[in-house]
Amino acid sequence: MALYKLLRPFAFALDAETAHRATVTALSMSPLLPLPDFGPELEQEVAGLRFPSPVGLAAGFDKDGEVADAMLGLGFGFVEVGTITPKPQAGNPKPRLFRLKEDRAVINRMGFNSGGQEAALERLRKRERRGIVGVNIGANKDSADRIADYAEGVKLLSPVADYLTVNISSPNTPGLRNLQVGGELVELLAAVREARTPGIPLFLKVAPDLESGDHGRIVRAAIDSGIDALIVSNTTISRPPLRSPHAGEAGGLSGRPLKALALEQLRAFRAASGGQIPLIAAGGIENAHDAWERITAGASLVQLYSAMVYEGPGIARRIAEGLKALLGLSQMANISEAVGSDAG
């Protein structure tokens, strides 16, 4: 934290995307830190994988899989790279990433900028594969068959992924979120089921902007097609009250103003699923209290991104330590006991 406090004013003097690129480049050139030992309390099996800590890095920070091992060394229990599209694509015109400092939030309309799956495959093949790295896949904006894009991603990237996430919840690719509802979802899940490699868990990432009947339909479709976990959630297109001058920017909102909505959506998914499918919480998680609230509401794992922009990467370890303290206070020996303990 001390180091990040010193560096933050320099990073914040740059526009958000330039600062992000400089950070990823610096991390990719730094020697890898050894993986932390989180202790037995936080270790947990989810979807057949052993997670050393439930605190993961959400997709979007390491879009092209350049620094997953560096982030594991910095204290994340798992790292999700991507979203990666089949073909390389530039994404939306810049500026497209905004810090909302007064709100501890971020708005982005990156639009799946990605070096493409072939490049990611080559890069990820060179890893020595320490720690859990998931690969989040998407569809190209100009794709004539988006469902085929997902199937292709699942096939191609399985050899380098500990798990794969089917991301149909970005607000920045027009029409993408229609895949979350009805017949399209069933068709998509059938196609990825057909394309998947046995033994590689498949997660589905959803938006927080859903209506009341959607949760049950998504849960049923996911369970019926063998999806291993739901990630709740992506960024929101809604705009709770905001103070920052960037509040009017188009795109997905994340960070503190997403917290209440993401928790509400997690609770709705837990109620709809009754614990029959693991849930992974994301959206506005900033500290151990937030993580604990999601876990006790039913999440087996949590992910964060925006809070790291404000707090630095040490946030992952601080949350892990805080979770251990909260386990002790609740007289629980392992994090798995806390999952859903407040879900009713």
- Residues with catalytic function: 170
Minimum CB–partner distance for residue 63 and ligand FMN (Å): 6
Is it true that the peptide bond before 36 is cis, omega within 30 degrees of 0?
Answer: no
Residues numbered 137-166 forming contacts with ligand FMN, rule: CB under 6 A: none
Tell me the CA end-to-end span of the chain in Å, nearest whole number. 37
In this structure, how many other beta carbons lie within 10 angstroms of the beta carbon of residue 236?
Answer: 22
* 246 touches ligand FMN by CB under 6 A: no
Structure tokens at 89: 């694509």
Residue nearest to ligand FMN (CB): 60
Stretch that binds ligand FMN, among 55-63, 115-123, 241-249, 323-331 (CB under 6 A): 55-63
307 binds ligand FMN (CB under 6 A): yes
258 scored as a contact of ligand FMN (CB under 6 A): yes
How does 191-201 read in b/e, with b if 16+ C-beta sit within 10 Å?
bbeebbeeebb
Our finding on whether 255 is near ligand FMN (CB under 6 A) is yes
Residue of 282, 299, 301, 339 interacting with ligand FMN (CB under 6 A): 282
Q: What is the DSSP letter of 305?
A: S
CB-CB contact of 1 with 311 (8 Å):
yes
Q: Does 254 bind ligand FMN (CB under 6 A)?
A: yes
CB of 24 to ligand FMN, least distance (A): 12
Contacting residue, 23, 44, 92, 136, with ligand FMN by CB under 6 A: 136
Q: Does 283 bind ligand FMN (CB under 6 A)?
A: yes
Smallest separation, CB 34 to ligand FMN (Å): 26
Q: Are 109 and 17 in contact (CB under 8 A)?
A: no
Q: If you search the block for the tokens 């609740």, which residue do you land on? A: 330
Q: How far is the CB of 125 from ligand FMN (least distance, A)?
A: 21
The 10 Å Cβ neighbour count of residue 238 is: 12
Contact between 100 and 242 (Cβ < 8 Å): yes
**Structure token digits, residue 88:** 């390389």
Return d(Cα 231, Cα 207) in angstroms, integer: 9
For residues 176 and 170, give the distance between their C-alpha atoms in angstroms, rounded to a whole number. 7
**Residue 23 lies near ligand FMN (rule: CB under 6 A):** no
Q: Does 316 bind ligand FMN (CB under 6 A)?
A: no
- Compute the least distance from the CB of residue 208 to ligand FMN, in Å: 8
Q: Which residues bind ligand FMN (CB under 6 A)?
A: 58-60, 63, 82-83, 97, 106, 108, 110, 136, 167, 170, 205, 234-235, 254-255, 258, 282-285, 304-307
